[in-house]
Structure 1
Amino acid sequence: MASRLHRALLAALITASVALPVSGAARPSAVPAPAPPHLPPLTSAAPDALDARYAAHRDGIRAAERAAARHGDRRRAAALRAMADPERRFLLFDGRDGGRTAEVVGDLSRAERIAVLVPGADTSLDTYGRFHAGAVALRRELGDRAAVVAWLGYRTPRTLSPEALTDGRAADAAPRLAGFVHRLTGIKPGARLSLLCHSYGSVVCARAAPGLRVTDLVLYGSPGTGTGHAGALRTRATVWAARSTGDRVADVPHLRLRLPFGTVGFGTDPVSERFGARGFDAGTGGHSDYLKPGSTSLENLARIVSGTTPTGGRHHA
């Protein structure tokens, strides 16, 4: 059995390596954008302070839109035009290298419950609409006194690439996520904060987890975390894990192999009893359906963020 899984993982690596030149034909990072403005650290969640930060980044988004238009990339320009809507709120925006953002959905100044969404592979400014839609759906499910922060603070790997099988991108992203969460808890010390980590985003969250002041760490659609047990994440947060029955990530071999060029795979399946996370029902959707309106997974993610018990699943010690 182990030999078969080894061969499957190596076959996936070879497939990704062959697919790389094709999938990389139109790279999101190739679209130019100006450097973001240098802003002082945000030290308050008061409405005036937040509004000033949102306005500064809105100006940056508009500048990036103009740069994309000059470059002739209509798709990127259209995405940025939507993001520059006066009703949208960004704590972070950098249009370079595929994009870095942190968008607030809801009223952060009044929020008592905050969910930070960390996305997986193939998330960039060009595909940002679906990430934003998931944040909006979760915010609606949570109701008043809640905010959702859609954090795209790293260059995500492409699904068909060797980077999606290693933790290199996660190693670069984890300090960024940890710093962001630290600053967020600094301006909202009394809020209940949950980290919701999808797919490759769960690898990022796992590396960032030690020392983070979050109540819940939720891994969904996860290929693994790079650790063998939830206890190895070194977090005081309650660790949750779930996978929908239609999620293709169930077919990923849960191994971690040391090869001459690096380590491939992410180890123990987070939804297994051996990993030791608390489980919940994630419904029957596919890999991209966890935040779909009306879904069981969305309802249970909202329950966790709100501090109530989700339905279904095993609860491990």
Structure 2
Amino acid sequence: MDGHLIAAIPGDGIGKEVLPAAQRVLDAVAVRHDFVLSWCELPWSCSWYTQHGAMMPPDGIDRLRETDAIFLGAVGSPGVPDHISLWGLHIPIRRAFDQYVNLRPVRLLPGLASSLRECEAFDVAIVRENTEGEYSDVGGRFATPDGDVAVQESIFTRRGCERALRYAFDLARQRGGALVSATKSNGLMHTMPFWDEVTAEVAASHPDVKWQRMHIDALTARFITHPQDLDVVVGSNLFGDILGNIAAAVSGSLGVAPSANLDPTGRCPSMFEPVHGSAPDIAGRGVANPIAQVWCGALMLDHLGREKAAADVLTAIETVTADPALRTRDLGGRATTKDVTSALVDALP
């Protein structure tokens, strides 16, 4: 039977609960569509770091290279600084496998209420450049007679900007919608005018796509007041990161927000992970919302060419969120992780 080898990294906290829950749903939909998901379980986490002094072993990237996709839970621990887990696991994976697009679909799912007082249904795709920009490892801290100085450089290359922007414009064309490019060229005098220049060049090859630039502060306000006016939004590494988290909050809960770190060429494995963190305050209690992780699984199936299976998972998600009895605590309900997971399996077409 045809299948895929998937690296499963539960990570820390609720990642150890929601990732197995999502595996259960994905295994069930795979059976319905006559393929197999083979899971390569990897214990890399902040707990691993405290024991081994690294977030993953020296051959970690080579081991991941043999897989078709990477399915990550949540990484983070109060005893380990965030920059350790980020630069020890997430960023090495993204860069080793040239995952230059971070895609965050944001929708107001059936039955869920936005954090906004009044909000129409919305369906937005946020495309974030994922390998350079403001998150470049260039800079340092220096001691001067007047005190310490910290310098953080931003690196924008034409190749890096163009390929992320092209993906976003192609996506806007596919969705039949419009595109907004996040900028701040009135304040960042070198990088953002360059980003705007490349945006205009890519736009010229997509004359059928309506687009506009919007300063990041105004765009942030638009997400908070009128997210239904947006369709595809593209931004640099930092801008896309911030917008993605704001949009997730507007959608009702971080517990339903997925993301995908993509190599659109398919040459390297892509990585799929929820937007939420490890939530150590509720870890081990069986109350974490598995929806975001399951939606990540749908994105993964779609990327692997299993579009029908991915659509079935999304149908199950929409069926479950529409039922008030199946809402976890982050959504104002009392359902458990197990309750929601079982309901998702039962709701698969």
Fold match by TM threshold 0.5: no
Q: Which structure has the highest strand share of the two?
A: 2
Q: TM-score, normalised by structure 2?
A: 0.29
Q: TM-score, normalised by structure 1?
A: 0.31
Q: Does 1 or 2 have the higher relative contact order (CA < 8 Å, sep 6+)? A: 2
Q: Which has the larger radius of gyration?
A: 2
